[in-house]
Structure 1
Amino acid sequence: MKQKPVKRYEADMYAPIRDYFVGQGYEVFGEVNHCDLTAIKEDELIIVEFKRNLSVELLIQAAKRQRFTDHVYVAIPKPKYKLFSKKWQDVVYLIRRLELGLILVSFPKKGAVMELSIAPAPFDRERSKQFNKRKRARIIQEMRGRYGDYNVGGSNQTKIMTAYKQGCIQIAALLQHYGPLAPKALKEKGATDKASSILSKNYYGWFTRIKRGVYALTPTGEKELAAYPELVDHYISMAEDTISPSDGEMGQSNPAAAQ
């Protein structure tokens, strides 16, 4: 018969963590002024807070302990999920961001094993921002590539209006209004610089190539475009502002669309 897993408590983690710090030359005491474990060596004070799960409550508790020392750890049982998963990497980032340490305790059949996973250390925000400057640039690029705000923040399982989709709508609006066009002519009317890529990939199935380098709108594109009248009006107005007398035949309005 399969045995039920043993329920573990915060106190079950105390002995292996105490033994570790004692082995490092610290004097260790439990439950000192509401701190689960304290360790001291000369003037270096370490505080460890225990919980059965990583929680906001535990992080708040640990952050408050940082008023007394820079050497604060949170201790939890070692998670059952994989430690190279995105979920765990997010946990690690948060712990480092809060400048806390992390101790994991596992419970094999006999005894308990402590693992010092993260040591408390200052978090270099400038280095972090420098490392992520490309992601920052992509956020700004996405914002600047959009017109208007068509999404509700916090929404789940809903279609999101992106700069890429607006680029598709813009191209579709131009093809509907002016008729078949080449990517160069589309760009001259204000279309995104990614027009060639959008047309060739045809992610939404809105476009069809009628001859080499010239594209038209499909019936699917016509139907889908009807859902975005405000954007269509904006892009056509923008295109008309860019038209010059030298635009030539490809810049003339589609007679069928004008009727």
Structure 2
Amino acid sequence: MKKEANKKIMETDLYEPIYNYLISQGYIVHSEVKNCDITAIKGKELVVIEMKLRFNVTLLMQAVQRQKAADSVYVAILKPKGGAFSKGWDDMCHLLKRLELGLITVSFNGKKPMMEIVFHPMEYKRKKNNNIRKAIIREINGRYMDYNIGGSTRRKLMTAYRENSIHIACCLEKFGQLSPKQLKELGTGEKTQSILSKNFYGWFNRVSVGKYELQESAKEALKNYHELAEHYRKQIKNIDISEFNSKA
């Protein structure tokens, strides 16, 4: 079944190549049985395939419903341009595997449609990514409060890095020029030297080897984080600067 270049592909066009493959594997195939797009039986095995041109939530819901009755359930979609390199492909495959669903793709680029079983349904064995887990926990531990709103986009988020920078800025604001060692003794943490050296926000100025001061622009920036800045100002309010003057 060769598709004309400018002819729109319909969901029903996916049926024939899938049907032909299942027949070649010895299945008895029927379509639209009890709302199932394709059913295939071999012996006591019942396979159900749900079709959509594109991967979407409706397809997932239909496929998961079919798992109540079928031994194996696949979703079949039109193969996206770029295949495994297309946007969202890895996330889609991960979700399908997590739901123990198989994936079939159909393409119409050649002389005849090509059907591919990308993977079969299989039991999902959950694996934790310890690196990502540790990174999340580090970020949580590095924040004083939750200043963000879940679901936010297109706005500056409060990260542990930004909060750490605000802490350093408040110390320099109060005490003037300080070394990374002095700042760490004030509780600014192990990343102090890196934050000062990279100066990502442009808040700090190195006045000499191992000495930093606060830029005027940072004093304005702190006004945008008033609540958090006040928290750190209170922390250092009663510290005597003379204790640090002799420390490099």
Residues of 2 paired with 1:82 and 1:119: CA distance? 17
Taking structure 1 as reference, are residues 78 and 245 closer, same or farther at Cα in structure 2, changes over 3 Å only?
Answer: closer
Counterpart for residue 243 of structure 2: 247
CA distances 1:92-148 after superposition (whole Å, capped 9, x unpaired): 1111111111111111354321111121111112xx22xx12111111111111112
Structure 1 runs not aligned, ≥5 long: 252-259
Secondary structure at 1:96 match in 2: helix
* 1:183 corresponds to: 180
Secondary structure of 1:228's partner?
helix
1:28-177 equivalent positions in 2, closer than 5 A: 28-108=29-109, 110-125=111-126, 128-129=127-128, 132-177=129-174
Match of 2:13 in 1: 12
Aligned residue type for 2:226: P
8 Å contact kept, 2:80–2:86? no
Q: Aligned letter for 1:153?
A: G
Name the amino acid aligned to 2:7: V
> Which deviates the most, 50-59 or 221-230?
221-230
- Per the alignment, in what secondary structure is the counterpart of residue 83 of structure 1? helix
Q: In the alignment, which of 221, 225, 229 is matched to residue 224 of structure 1?
A: 221
Which of 190, 193, 198 matches 2:195? 198
In 1, the alpha carbon distance for the partners of 2:179 and 2:156 equals 29
Q: Is the 8 A contact 1:70 1:120 kept in 2?
A: no
Q: CA deviation at 1:193?
A: 1.4
User: Take 1:208 and 1:230, find their aligned partners in 2: how far apart are those partners?
Assistant: 24
> What is the letter of the counterpart of residue 63 of structure 1?
V
The CA deviation at 1:39 is 1.2
53-62 or 164-173, which moves further after superposition?
A: 53-62
CA distance in 2, matches of 1:35, 1:136: 39
d(CA) in 1 for partners of 2:192 and 2:209?
15
After superposition, the Cα gap between the structure-2 partners of 1:104 and 1:59, relative to the gap in structure 1 and judged at 3 Å, is same
Contact 1:190 1:239 in 2 (8 A): no
Q: 1:12-67: CA deviations, max 9, x gaps?
A: 22121111122222222222222111112222211111122222111111000000
Equivalent residues of 1:36, 1:50 under 8 A apart = yes
> 2:88 is paired with a residue of what secondary structure?
helix
Question: Against the structure 1 CA distance between its residues 40 and 180, is the aligned structure 2 distance closer, same or farther, given a 3 Å change threshold?
Answer: same
TM-score, scaled to structure 2: 0.90
Q: What is the RMSD of the two structures over their aligned residues, measured on CA atoms?
A: 2.1
> How many aligned residue pairs are there?
244
Mark the CA change 1:115 to 1:77 in structure 2 (over 3 Å): closer, same or farther: same
Indicate whether 1:237 and 2:234 are aligned.
yes
Letter of the structure 2 residue corresponding to residue 247 of structure 1: E
Partners in 1 of 2:5 and 2:117 — Cα distance? 28
Specify every segment of 5 or more residues in structure 2 that has no aligned partner in the other structure, as ranges: none
